[in-house]
Amino acid sequence: MNTKTLLASIFICVALILGCKTKSASTPKEKQKLSATSQNKPNLIVIHTDEHNFRTLSCYQNILSEEQAFVWGKGNNSKTPNIDKLANGGAISTSYYCASPVCTPSRASLITGLYPQATGAPKNGLHISEDVPTFATILRDNGYSTSYVGKWHLAGEEKYTFGVKYKAGFEDNRFMMRGGHAPYFHIKDGKIKGIGDRAAARLPKDEIIHLTDYFTDKTLEIIERDKDKPFAIMLSIPDPHTPDYAKPPYNTMYKDLNIKAPKTMAPEYVAIKPSWAGGGDKPDNNEAIGKKAFTREKEALKQYFGMVSHIDDSVGRILKFLEDNRLAENTIVVFTSDHGDMFFEHNRRNKGVPYEASARIPFVIRYPDRIPSGKVINTAYTNVDFTPTILSIMGVETDAEFHGLDTSKDFLNDKKVVNSDRITYYAKSGGWWVTAVNDRYKLVIDKNEPPYLFDLKEDPNELINFYKDPAYGEIARSMQTELFKQLERYDEPGLKNKKPYIVK
- pLDDT tens track for 133-158: 999 999 999 999 999 999 999 999 99
User: Which pLDDT score is estimated for 6?
Assistant: 43
pLDDT band at 272 (very low <50, low <70, confident <90, very high): confident
Beta bridge partners of 26: none
Q: Walk me through the domains of the chain, giving residue ranges and CATH numbers.
A: 40-426 (3.40.720.10)
User: Which pLDDT score is estimated for 22?
Assistant: 32
Share of the chain above pLDDT 70, in %: 90
Sheet with 184-188: list strands edge to edge. 191-195, 184-188, 208-210
Pairing of strands 96-97, 381-382: parallel
User: Which pLDDT score is estimated for 504?
Assistant: 85
State the Cα–Cα distance between residues 262 and 18, nearest whole angstrom.
Answer: 71
State the Cα–Cα distance between residues 98 and 94, nearest whole angstrom.
Answer: 13
pLDDT averaged over every residue in the chain: 91
Sheet with 452-455: list strands edge to edge. 424-427, 433-437, 441-446, 452-455
State the Cα–Cα distance between residues 455 and 443, nearest whole angstrom.
Answer: 9
User: Which pLDDT score is estimated for 289?
Assistant: 67
Q: Is the pLDDT of residue 60 over 80?
A: yes
Pair 38, 230: CB distance under 8 Å:
no
State the Cα–Cα distance between residues 94 and 487, nearest whole angstrom.
Answer: 24
User: Which pLDDT score is estimated for 281?
Assistant: 62
User: Which pLDDT score is estimated for 295?
Assistant: 79
pLDDT band at 285 (very low <50, low <70, confident <90, very high): low
Q: Is the pLDDT of residue 85 over 80?
A: yes
State the Cα–Cα distance between residues 401 and 11, nearest whole angstrom.
Answer: 53
The 3-class secondary structure across 198-255, one letter per residue, is: HHHHCCCHHHEEEHHHHHHHHHHHHHHHHCCCCEEEEEECCCCCCCCCCCCCHHHCCC
State the Cα–Cα distance between residues 403 and 120, nearest whole angstrom.
Answer: 15
The 3-class secondary structure across 399-459, one letter per residue, is: CCCCCCCCCHHHHHCCCCEECCCCCEEEECCCCCEEEEECCCEEEEEECCCCCEEEECCCC
Q: Mean pLDDT, to the nearest integer, of 297-307?
A: 95
State the Cα–Cα distance between residues 66 and 87, nearest whole angstrom.
Answer: 19
- Element housing 150 (H / E): strand 145-151
pLDDT band at 9 (very low <50, low <70, confident <90, very high): very low
User: Which pLDDT score is estimated for 279?
Assistant: 73
Which residue in 109, 74, 159, 176 sits closest to 336, CA to CA? 109
State the Cα–Cα distance between residues 114 and 303, nearest whole angstrom.
Answer: 34
Pick the more confident residue, 115 or 26. 115
* DSSP string computed for 262-300: -GGGSHHHHTT--GGGT-SSS--TTB---HHHHHHHHHH
pLDDT tens, 430-482? Answer: 778 999 999 999 999 999 999 999 999 999 999 999 999 999 999 999 999 99
Q: Is the pLDDT of residue 168 over 70?
A: yes
User: Which pLDDT score is estimated for 11?
Assistant: 42
pLDDT band at 32 (very low <50, low <70, confident <90, very high): very low
Pick the more confident residue, 122 or 285. 122
User: Which pLDDT score is estimated for 430?
Assistant: 73
